[in-house]
Chains A and B, each alone.
Chain A
């Protein structure tokens, strides 16, 4: 029941926020804040209670919830939570709370509808992370699109309509392919076992012919790498991130991209082990290309938000690289990457929002020399820029290190290429600090430094990223039971691409 509440509360809260806006324009903010805080406390307490290694290793599933929904098709409203889902939920509610706070001053018009959309998208994301029925998964996957479309399209910046449009079309097209693949899997399963079901657990052991399995796997994979996004499907991302209001960018970068990564870990690899192994080298190559190309593009940007958006393309390349390396180290790294990237990129977008509020520009060329005026913001930015370039002691380092160590065992050549990405990351990250906070000041700025509200938003982010960098064990413990479920795939040696040093 708790699991159902996780989804129901944001949606009910969203409706309430929309309705109450008629009486008071400030009320929706408080409702949204309370809803998110409540959810955060609920999820965190679950994590807290279960945070001992013995409990974790015994059973993958912490809680399940199941009700029949459309028995005609074998669809049930089936939710289940394991360590991976729980971590994603904590991240969702953490960033959700912050995105309510970050909109406090930014969104002044139509607050009711804004918070309705915000809570609705968060509810949809929660559903994606919890559901264990493939139909329901697709349902939530699509449900989160509409409110996101409105968030970008109504409250975004100048070019919002175009960006919202592009975002919607890209993800919807990917989603429909996934629907075809889901149905394909459903009927293959039904024809071989006689049971019509969308249940994840039953579909897990569907016997698949080699070719069928590969096609179906590609259907899923395309939907997920559009969302992730990986080259060549990333073009919606810079537009959507840049034009969205700050809360929208935080949710997009911090959470929506993670649904793609989550989908790969939860569905693609366990459902299609053979096909995943078959395509693994190519996907890892795609990941490495994404790391380098994303980094290169990030360096070339003059718009702060666009720059951060491209760093996401680069960082998500690590997720692809790690996910298809097929070993526990890399997968732990991927989960770490999902969380730390959510935090660090979310924080960078919030800083971009705060700067925009003060300077009314996102152009790097018009900034510079801001440190004396905004010392506290400078320090916070420094922390996240360092996180983004992978400085040891901060969460992202652990993530990328684990991924690289893991993928080295699978594909050394590709891993070397990916490692160069860390150098690229250093270059573009330092450029952020250089352009914004150092250098000469173009004008004499008299700007307010971080306000109390902003400080309150930034403090937990800083604490979280340092904590994850110094003591990542709780995260690693939490995903430990999930990983064997992913690895249960037959240990086929991945086919090396081109030259393999051991040969």
Chain B
């Protein structure tokens, strides 16, 4: 491995190195504040290192990795998402009894996994990245050991993730057995040379689909989502919703593009049916929820369905739409979970609808942020979510996916019902009943992070040109 190789992997090196140093720090002295500050620093340095590139992109480290503009952008997205989650974590864990320091080690490790995923172009690196992330997530989800639901969620995730990994491995093996290569592009070349997808390879893709679908939380592999969102500590839920799903999505895009998936209609139909099912199941079940965490979980299933529509639209516009929507979705999800995390007290999380009753009159800024995030999820103008949805619809109309788009519109309207319901609760007049959550002072860093996210949300909603141009250039160079 040459020096340039190492330099090109700088963010990855920094984050993995920090995980090791963090372990040593815990061994020397347990201090929550130091650990938190150290992790924040690690993320910041990693983000800065993205801007220093002494090498030409795309830079390939054969056979496992490729570092192109697309990978760098998504690495940045993961790091920023991780950093935002960190800001929201400190107070949340500070008020709880468990030992807090290992949380940061696990979070750093999970981030390493995510970063490996977005630069992989090979089954081996794919699996390594996936497992690094999954195994850290088992620990993160069950981090609040004293709570039943957290344990249950951890075990559930462990079993299902292990199962889905097994499917993924089997699928990879089948594909490898037939095509003789584990490189994405190699598989694409092979399929092109024979002009069709042999049944074995279709079966392999199908089995891989289970592994990928599980991570994305799309129907019919979505069962874990609500339970894990509900049981996991709130910052971890935000992390799963964004980094875990996002990095898998990016990997799927790269894989699909490299194997020329758009050429094969059978794959297209599989995704189309999954997209439709995800939208309807997600939105429909979200309507029935009383628990805000579960509601967000189901809504995230639906949002993955929307993203798949852009994904299916293919071409340049569709891929741009996926990435734009992903950015909007990351901002929005972290923002929404962040509000929940900040409102939670040491006894329980803010998750019931009643917890938000009259929030606007108690904490106007928090309620405004939450309203903004929900409106963005609903796709209302002035927010990033609106431009994202517009982008998806534009890509879809261009590709002529009328059926999917009409379903998207129907689902957007269903979605409005439950987003508006939460907003309506927040704007209810205050009752005499004392708020059930006893938290008094709001954490400075958390509110700061939320304000920054809110700023981004509005900025992207009003002036998205800069990001659009960036994504477009990136996709063009990726070719």
Contacts and interface: CB of A to CB of B under 8 A. Distances in A.
Interface of A: 69-73, 110, 135, 138-139, 142-143, 145-146, 149-150, 153-154, 161, 164-165, 168-169, 172-173, 176-177, 179-180, 183-184, 186-187
B148 interface: no
Interface residues of B, number: 27
Given A72-B472, A143-B381, A180-B405, A150 B398 contact: no
Contact of B416 (A71, A73, A143, A168): A168
Nearest to A143: B381
B424 A164 contact: yes
B427 A154 contact: yes
A180 B406 CA distance: 8
Interface string B402-415: 00011001001100
Given A165-B424, A176-B412, A187-B397, A70 B464 contact: yes
B397 A168 contact: no
B107 interface: no
A72 to B, nearest CB: 5
A186 B420 CA distance: 30
A73 B382 CA distance: 17
Given A173-B413, A176-B412, A142 B381 contact: yes
A187 B465 contact: no
B468 A70 contact: yes
B64 interface: no
A154 B463 CA distance: 30
B189 to A, nearest CB: 32
Given A139-B381, A161-B424, A172-B413, A146 B405 contact: no
A72 B427 contact: no
Nearest to B396: A183
Contact of A180 (B382, B393, B416): B393
A69 B427 CA distance: 33
A145 B413 contact: no
Contacts of A164: 424
Given A145-B380, A161-B424, A168-B416, A71 B390 contact: no
Given A146-B375, A146-B380, A169 B416 contact: yes
Contacts of A168: 416, 420
Interface SS majority for chain A: helix
Interface in B409-450: 409, 412-413, 416-417, 420, 424, 427
A69 B397 contact: no
A179 B390 contact: yes
Contacts of B464: 70
A372 B416 CA distance: 49
A405 B427 CA distance: 49
B205 interface: no
A355 B413 CA distance: 37
A165 B417 CA distance: 8
Contacts, number: 65
A414 B102 CA distance: 77
5 contacts: A70-B468, A153-B427, A165-B420, A180-B406, A186-B394
Interface string B162-198: 0000000000000000000000000000000000000
Given A142-B381, A184-B397, A187-B397, A172 B416 contact: yes
Interface string B374-390: 01000011100010001
A70 B406 CA distance: 25
Nearest to B378: A172
Question: Most A CB atoms within 10 A — which of B361, B393, B397?
Answer: B397
A173 B406 CA distance: 11
Contacts of A150: 427
B288 interface: no
Nearest to B386: A142
Contacts of B413: 169, 172-173, 176
A141 to B, nearest CB: 9
A135 to B, nearest CB: 8
A176 B389 CA distance: 11
B465 A72 contact: yes
B6 interface: no
A184 B400 CA distance: 9
Nearest to A185: B397
Nearest to A164: B424
Contacts of B465: 69-72
B424 to A, nearest CB: 6
Given A70-B468, A169-B413, A183 B397 contact: yes
A253 to B, nearest CB: 23
Contacts of A73: 394
A285 B386 CA distance: 36
Contact of A169 (B386, B406, B417): B417
Contacts of A71: 465
A14 to B, nearest CB: 13
Contact of A183 (B381, B393, B417, B469): B393
Contacts of B416: 168-169, 172
A177 B409 contact: yes
Given A72-B468, A180-B405, A180-B406, 11 more contacts: A70-B468, A71-B465, A142-B386, A146-B380, A154-B427, A161-B424, A164-B424, A169-B413, A169-B420, A172-B413, A180-B393
A138 B386 CA distance: 11
Contacts of B468: 70, 72
Contacts of A184: 397
B107 to A, nearest CB: 35
A149 B465 CA distance: 29
Question: Most A CB atoms within 10 A — which of B381, B398, B416?
Answer: B381
B283 to A, nearest CB: 13
A437 to B, nearest CB: 35
Contacts of A145: 380
Interface string B345-381: 0000000000000000100000000000001000011
A71 B386 CA distance: 17
